[in-house]
Amino acid sequence: MNNPRVRFAPSPSGAAHIGNGRTALFNWLYARANSGKFIVRIEDTDQARSSETSERLVLDTLSRLGLRWDEGPDIGGPYGPYRQSERQHLYARAVRELIETNDAYPCYCSPRELEMERKASIAARKPPRYSGKCRKLTVAERSAMEKGGIRPAIRFKIKGGSVEFDDAVRGGVSFDTADFGDFIIMRSDATASYLLASAVDDMEMRITDVIRGEDHLSNTPMQILIMRALGHEPPRYAHLPMILGPDGSKLSKRHGSADIHELLEAGYLPDAINTAMAMLGWSGVDGNEVETLEAIAAKFDLGGVSRSPSRYDKKRLDNLNSRALRSMDTGELLSLVSPALERSGFPIDRFGEEHMRAMIETAREGANTPADVVSHMGQFAGAVKPDDATLTILKAPETSQVADALKKALSGLSTIDTEKYKSVIESVSLQTGLKGKRLYQPVRAVITGAASGPKLADIFTILGPEELLKRIDKLEALERA
Ligand code: GLU
């Protein structure tokens, strides 16, 4: 298919989570892979739950991920406006048309009546659906209701038969309309329901392919009926599989953050997030390395999307992110973390360019996020405040022996290279009789104030003997406190 038009249609009522992000990504990839257009439409018909802040958050998140749109609420386009709250006139026109063609009718039932009807159906073990009571009202009965001040909702009339469509992911899908009641397309306050608004917009905006989450599968037959009644052929559909947690249960907070904005703020890289999302239901990326959007788009194919649920594993994202950090150009990484580094109070001015590069090279080892890099860098600056575990190490009796031995070994030196570092460690080992972890842990603690972090050899060679001695004095004071 060439030049498709696809849309991402978020409801601006909360955070942008991985599920929405995956839908946006797959739409973007499909458009990019087929020279199409990617459209963003804000589905804010539920005014009570929608907010401008949430809309801004969604748009900002998409931009930061690199998922730029061709038409949308901020930039407009040929089929605007792109916010449903500004399109009510189009929905009202569609409703008028549907009433004229006898595909819709006003319903005056009160919420209480509907609730009683629902309970009666359940008690009779029948699926709860609208009885169609208001279908049969005469013109006179309708005007009596109107005179009584009752504002009707408008329902779509189900006329029987089945709705079939070919889903790009799920294959042939069929629904028997006997399972649906006449559904509401316009509420009594004259606002369009989601089912109507989204169907009208997909038609009016010339959407060719609707790619969305499987949770919308059951809405599709009703939207197809609306479009056909309005004289349009529906677009193609592709329903993406559900996303579960790594243990196969419903995805929730305890599986680690799935809020994309939060992840970006914590320093996760857009390409790492995109690669992790591309893996949710599609086998085109294996997650062994971070891939760019362009690289993923070059091989993207909806036919390769699986119908079985996919699992979101935060650890996979952590892995991808730490790989991305490791393979990033040193200068690029330095500019990425510089703002956060400065905010953390790191004395950038104290170190020359060469030292900064050397430090960042070692600080990125074992870091999952730029925030980890910043915290590792803090160990070079001596800015680390020991945590409880490190305080215990600092207070252990061997630690003061290690500190004394270190001071002795360092005092005659003016510089340190890898060879000298090795002999310093050997000398401390000989003086204290300690080896392995029992030796390295207190050495690290008296120098950095932390229990883990960048390679000790790097810390020694970069800081040099004078700075190391100062550190030991400072941390020894804590040891005695
Ligand atoms: N606004 C809907 C949602 O956020 C999406 C509707 C659709 O894609 O048709 O779930």
Q: What is the pLDDT of residue 173?
A: 97
Interstrand relation of 184-186 and 209-213 (parallel, antiparallel or unpaired)? unpaired
pLDDT digits (tens, 9 = 90+) for 311-354: 999 999 999 998 998 888 999 898 888 888 888 888 888 888 88
- Report domain extents, the chain: 5-83+243-316, 87-240, 328-378, 388-480
Which of 129, 91, 128, 134 lies closest to 110 in space, CA to CA? Answer: 134
* Residue 423 near residue 380, CB atoms below 8 Å: no
Cα gap 406→404, rounded to integer Å: 5
Query: Would you call 238 helix, strand, or coil by DSSP?
Result: strand
Specify the CATH class of 388-480 in words.
mainly alpha
Q: How far apart are CA 184 and CA 188, in angstroms?
A: 10
Rg (C-alpha) for the chain, rounded Å, is 31
Q: Tell the residue nearest (CA) to atom 6 of ligand 1.
A: 9
Stated length of the chain: 481
pLDDT in tens, 56-81: 999 999 999 999 999 999 999 999 99
Distance 132 CA to ligand 1 centre (A): 27
Q: Which of 7, 8, 11 to mutate to test the pocket of ligand 1 (most atoms within 8 A of CB)?
A: 11
Digit-coded pLDDT (tens) for 390-447: 889 988 989 999 999 999 999 989 999 999 999 999 999 999 999 999 999 999 999 9
Predicted confidence at residue 346, as pLDDT, reads 87
Q: Which residues line ligand 1 (CB under 6 A)?
A: 9-11, 43, 198, 212, 216
Instruction: Please check the confidence at residue 1 and state whether its pLDDT lies above 70.
Output: no
Q: What is the DSSP letter of 157?
A: P
Give the pLDDT mean for 364-380: 86
Q: Which atom of ligand 1 is nearest to the CA of 20?
A: 4
The domains spanning 87-240 and 388-480 adopt the same CATH topology: no
Confidence of residue 479 (pLDDT cuts 50, 70, 90): low
Give the residue from 322, 247, 336 showing the smallest Cα distance to 287: 322
Q: What class does CATH assign to 5-83+243-316? A: alpha beta
CA of 18 to the centre of ligand 1 (A): 14
- Kindly give the distance from the C-alpha atom of residue 239 to the centroid of ligand 1, in angstroms, as a whole number: 12
E strands of 130-270, at which residues? 153-156, 162-167, 171-176, 184-186, 209-213, 236-240, 243-244
Q: Of 46, 198, 217, which is best to mutate to test ligand 1, by the most ligand atoms within 8 angstroms of its C-beta?
A: 198
Mean pLDDT to the nearest integer, 28-55: 93
CA of 9 to the centre of ligand 1 (A): 5
Instruction: Calculate the alpha carbon distances from 388 to 394, 445, 473, 474 in Å.
Output: 10, 12, 19, 17
- Look at residue 104 and give its three-state secondary structure: strand
* Alpha carbons 239 and 168: distance in angstroms, whole number: 8
Name residues whose C-beta falls within 8 Å of residue 426's C-beta, 6 or more positions apart in sequence. none
Contact 209, 6 (CB under 8 A): yes
Residue 216 alpha carbon to ligand 1 centre in Å: 7
Q: Closest Cα to residue 67, out of 333, 294, 332?
A: 294
Contact between 346 and 340 under an 8 Å Cβ cutoff? The reply is: no
CA of 7 to the centre of ligand 1 (A): 10
Contact of 79 with 85, CB cutoff 8 Å: no
C-alpha dist (Å) from residue 228 to 163, 169, 234, 291, 436: 11, 22, 7, 41, 75
Q: What percent of the chain has pLDDT over 70?
A: 99
**Which atom of ligand 1 is least distant from the CA of 43?**
1
Q: Check: CATH 3.40.50.620 for 87-240? A: yes
